[in-house]
Structures are given as structure tokens and as C-alpha cells.
Structure 1
Amino acid sequence: MDYGRHPIGFPQQFPGWGSQAGYFPAGQPGYANAQRPYEHYSAFGGRLAGLLPRRYSAPAMGHGRQAFPGQGMLNAQIPLVGRGAAGRDPMGPVKKQVGRVDEGHGHGFQEKGSKGSSVPGYKKIKSLTPGGMSEAVSLVSHVKTGIKRVEKIVRYDKDKKRRAIAELQTLGRVTRSANLNRMFEHWWDDTRSSVSFILEYCDQGSLSSMIDDMLERRRSFSEDFAWHTMIGVAKGLAFMHSGIGDPAHEPPVPGWNAIFHLDLKPCNIFFSSSGQRGRYPRVVIGDFGCSVSANDIGLGKEHPHRQPYGTPVWYPPEGHAKTRYGAETDIWQCGAIISVMCRRTKEPRHRHLESSNACGHGFGTSLSKTGSLVQRCCHRDYRRRPAANVIFKDSVSIAGRKGLDASSWR
């Protein structure tokens, strides 16, 4: 990951990784800005050594994003494999259509699971840090193409199986947004009471690992990268909440069944060089294990007022009061993420969010001070928080007026 404002030498050996890292734009000939764009010097001085964040730090996945045949129809992404309970899917009838993996290379789904992976056609490279409701997260590669993915395994009892189905339904609906982590396929195994999701691999790590690196090196993020992150999160939320693919030009989709993430925090915000535009990697919201739909709340499948899932320290005021949750929860967490990112803290502090300086020193009034976008997102009164598409538009407008790099947002 390229953070700093001084060129560094590449290729570079990853810690704990057996091969050299690929070349990166910063510091290379032909790039207008050969600086490390994400951060600036703090009062403590110091400089980043050029390491990628610790989580998901491996070479880029290469071939980019391609749709399966019939993408948008969930069953088209659910091939039935094997006999007996393994491969049986609780989502209903399964089409015989076989999804292809990038570049048209299908694997037929007939071979046995490769060593270390529970999904046929993949082999495990290494374990990653699990999070949320997942029992195991691994970096895997497709046997025939070598394309890297992330395998997330969820083991379930009766209640967790319902959660796994809800996560599957969410993943099946968010494939059209580049700012939401994409599922390529999944594998049910009732004999082991588990489901495995094969997900997009974000090669540039998580925001949590970036914050850790900044703390270790006594550095802070640049303001334009903070805006870039906020814009990417807002764009992903606009799709989840309203079905909006392009918040700058599209209205909300009538009758959209809103999806609420409910567990936005730095370890669930990822970055990918695949599809990167401009200086910064693409922002990707991941881990939908706590997601709830508006229909599920309306039908009584989830509690109407008390937030059922998530990380309590990341609950907004009404979440702690157990009076309400929904889109306003995600908006509050979006603002809290930017505050935590700028202040380089592990978790949000309400006294910071409600103060006149939500993001600390070194950031402009539009981001940090009284009436700033972050403070509006984290307003104690949920009715006064802006919608995700409004956050996107306001962020792009403010960043443009400040003369910040907008190439990643267009």
C-alpha cells in the first residue's frame, strides 16, 4: 500500500510472504504524482516504510470483475454440487447453469474440493483474520485460473443458518455496486453445518490495518483520502438503502427493499486496486453478516426497534437506547468511521463526534468542525442525518471546491 509523500523503492518483500511485491504507481516514471498520497507528516514526524496493510496484503487479483451468466438472478450463482447434503441449498430450486469465473474459464463444479478449501475448484493460500460471524477467512486461488479470492466460512446452528441465508440474500443483491464486496459463488454443506462464500479479494487491505500502520509510524491520513473514503462508503450505502447505482445522476428506485448493513467499522471497509480510478484504490464495503432488510423488519422477522446485530461500541445513540435502527444506523457509522480514521483511534468516542472538532486537528472545517458533514452524519437526532446519496453529492461538491483530487470519484 502506497501511503506516503516520498518515493520508496520497489519491488519490496512482503513480511511473511514468499515473493516480491508488484510495482506500484507512486515513485514510478510516468505518473504525475510520484508521492505517497494517503498521508502527511504528523507532529511526531516519522515516515512509512512502504508495507502493505497486514490484512489481505498480497498481489492484486489481476483479471478484474466479470459477471456470471444470469447475474442478478441469485439462483444463477448457486450451482448444485455433489450428492447428499453437501451442496444442497436452502434458497430453493437451483438452475443447472454453471457460472464461469472471470475470462470465461469454468471449472464444471465436479472436482473434489482442493486442499485447504471447502469449495471445489479452489485451493487455500493462507488464513486471514476472521471477523463478525465467520469462523474462518482464507485467501484462496482458483485452481484453473490462479485468480485470488477470499473464502469466508460460516458454521451455523438454527439461528445462525437464518443469518447465513440473510447474508447470502444480501450478497445476491449487491453485485451491481462496485463499492460493495461481490460474491462469486457459494457452497452449502449441511453435513458440516456450514456455508462457504467465495468473495472478491481486496488486495489493498482494510481501513483498520491502515489505521494501525499510521499509529505505528505516527502519521496521519491526508484530507483528500478521507474524502475519498467517505465518498466510496456513501456510494455503497446509496445502493444498499435506495438501489442507486450513480448517486450523482440517479433517483432512488421506487419500492426498493432497503438493506441495512448495521456493522460498518474500519475492519469492514476494504480497498482494491482492481477498478481503481485516479490516485486511490476503490473503496469496498464488506462483511454483510449483520445485514437486515426493510422487508424482514416489516414482516416481523427482525425486531422493529432493537438493533439485533452489530458491534455495540459502534451503535449510534438510538441503538444504545434500543429505540430504532436502520439506514440512520449506517449513516451514523459512516461519519464515525471518518472520525476514527482522522483521529487514528480504535473505536468512536461520542464526545468527539458531538464536539465542534469531530475529526481532530489538521482537517478542514467542512470535514471536522461544527456543522461539518461528519457531524451531520453523527447527529444525536437521527432525523437530522443526511441520506447516503446526499452525503455523496455534498462530499463531491465540497472536495471539488477545495481543489482535491476528484479523479477517483468520477
Structure 2
Amino acid sequence: ATMAPRHEFTPVQNAAQGVGGGQNQGILIVRHKTSGKVYIEKRIPPCLITQGDTRREVRAMGQCSSHPNIVRLITYDLNTPAHIPYGSLYLQHCELGSLDALMLRYAARGQYLADEGFVWKVFFDLSLALAKLHFGADEQLSRARAAIGKDAKPIAGWNPITHRDIKPSNIFLT
């Protein structure tokens, strides 16, 4: 991902609308003005940019951008002029929302997710994403190795990435 100006995007709505909570502060659904494609904008306070946290996040997301089970960083704008007091990461929009939102929709109807296979698919895909983060493991190779009962194969020289906030509201569905 490369740095792009935020004026290329227009906000559509706050991601917290209709999602069931205030967990998504600073998260907006945006539309690219030229392509019309929908993305997520994650707004970052300047203090996190100057501390280097955001640049580390951009690097980590760049390392994992080709993995199908990790949200893709499309572009970013970390300039924080006085009239725009935040940086922006533009991410893949996961149109089905979070696992947490799905669970809340079922709970609101007094129902449970009846498809156990779906739950196992989510866990398996999460394990593939974690294998990428921790070991740099290739997704296709990890699938093949799992099918024969073998662990993911670590990539030599990979710098492990620790997520530190895995929870249903941070697991997105497409």
C-alpha cells in the first residue's frame, strides 16, 4: 500500500451505525471518489502516529496484504495538518460486518447460529491468519499441511506479528 491523499475518499457513514455499539469510534465507511468502491477508514490520533505505532501497523499490514483471511490495507494518509487532526488508514470493506455483529443479530432474535460448520470455518480461517502473523506461513501451504495433520511451516527470517486484540468485534466476514 502506498500513501494517498484522503481527499480521494468521501465518508458514507460511521461504521458504528447499525453495528450495535460504540466499539467503532473513528471507523467510517467511505467511498473512493473515482472508482466508487467502498472501503473502511480508520482514523488515527496524531499521538499514535508520532509514537510510531501507526507506521508499525502499516508495515505489518503490508507484510500480510496478500493473505485472504487478513483485512487488506488499501492505502493510507498519515499527514495531520492543523485542520485535519487525524491520520487515516483505508482498509478493505468486509461487507458482512464483524463476527460480533452477527452474534448480536442472532441474540436479538433469541436464536443461535445453527450451522456448526460455519463456526469451524471461522476458527480455521482465523488459524490461517494467525499462522501468517506468527510464522509468515503461506495460506495455501498451511491449508495443505492442515489437511494432513501438520503444523504451519514457519518462513525463515519472518518477523512475528502479535495481534494483541483478537475478539469477535475484530473478526470480519466477507
TM-score by length of 2: 0.82
Indicate the residue corresponding to 1:231 in structure 2: 124
Alignment of 1:110-189 (within 5 A): 119-129=6-16, 131=23, 135-157=25-47, 161-189=51-79
Alignment of 1:297-336 (within 5 A): none
Indicate the residue corresponding to 2:90 in structure 1: 198
Offset of residue 158 of structure 1 = 6.1
Indicate the residue corresponding to 1:220 in structure 2: 112
Retained in 1: the 8 A contact 2:73–2:92?
A: yes
TM-score by length of 1: 0.36
Offset of residue 160 of structure 1 = 6.3
1:244 aligns with 2:137: yes
Alignment of 1:389-400 (within 5 A): none
Alpha-carbon distance in 2 for matches of 1:159, 1:188: 7
Alpha-carbon distance in 2 for matches of 1:147, 1:181: 16
Alpha-carbon distance in 2 for matches of 1:271, 1:238: 18
Q: Which amino acid aligns with 1:141?
A: R
Alpha-carbon distance in 2 for matches of 1:158, 1:205: 26
Alpha-carbon distance in 1 for matches of 2:61, 2:73: 6
Is the radius of gyration larger for structure 1 or structure 2?
1
Alpha-carbon distance in 1 for matches of 2:49, 2:81: 17
Secondary structure at the aligned position of 2:78 is classed as: strand
Alpha-carbon distance in 1 for matches of 2:66, 2:32: 22
Q: Which amino acid aligns with 1:127?
A: N
Which runs of 5 or more residues in structure 1 are unaligned? 1-73, 82-118, 273-410
Choose 167-176 or 235-244, whichever is displaced more. Answer: 167-176
Give per-residue Cα distances to partners, 1:255-274, cap 9 Å, x unaligned: 210101010001000101xx
The percent identity for this pair of structures is: 23
Alpha-carbon distance in 2 for matches of 1:258, 1:235: 14
Secondary structure at the aligned position of 2:173 is classed as: strand
Alpha-carbon distance in 2 for matches of 1:131, 1:164: 19
Alpha-carbon distance in 1 for matches of 2:106, 2:74: 33
Retained in 1: the 8 A contact 2:80–2:86?
A: yes
Give 2:3's match in structure 1, choosing from 70, 74, 78.
Answer: 78
Q: Which amino acid aligns with 1:223?
A: E
Alpha-carbon distance in 2 for matches of 1:259, 1:131: 23
> Alpha carbons of 1:211 and 1:158: their partners in 2 closer, same or farther (altered >3 Å)?
closer
Offset of residue 182 of structure 1 = 0.4
Choose 163-172 or 199-208, whichever is displaced more. Answer: 163-172
Give per-residue Cα distances to partners, 1:228-262, cap 9 Å, x unaligned: 11011001111111111231246210121010101
Alignment of 1:367-382 (within 5 A): none
Richer in helix (by share)? 2
Alpha-carbon distance in 2 for matches of 1:197, 1:158: 13
Aligned residues: 157
> Alpha carbons of 1:217 and 1:158: their partners in 2 closer, same or farther (altered >3 Å)?
closer
Offset of residue 171 of structure 1 = 1.4
Alpha-carbon distance in 1 for matches of 2:30, 2:153: 38
Alpha-carbon distance in 2 for matches of 1:252, 1:203: 31
Give per-residue Cα distances to partners, 1:356-390, cap 9 Å, x unaligned: xxxxxxxxxxxxxxxxxxxxxxxxxxxxxxxxxxx
Alpha-carbon distance in 2 for matches of 1:160, 1:214: 41
Secondary structure at the aligned position of 1:271 is classed as: coil
Retained in 1: the 8 A contact 2:14–2:28?
A: yes
Offset of residue 161 of structure 1 = 3.6
Q: Which amino acid aligns with 2:165?
A: D
Alignment of 1:277-288 (within 5 A): none
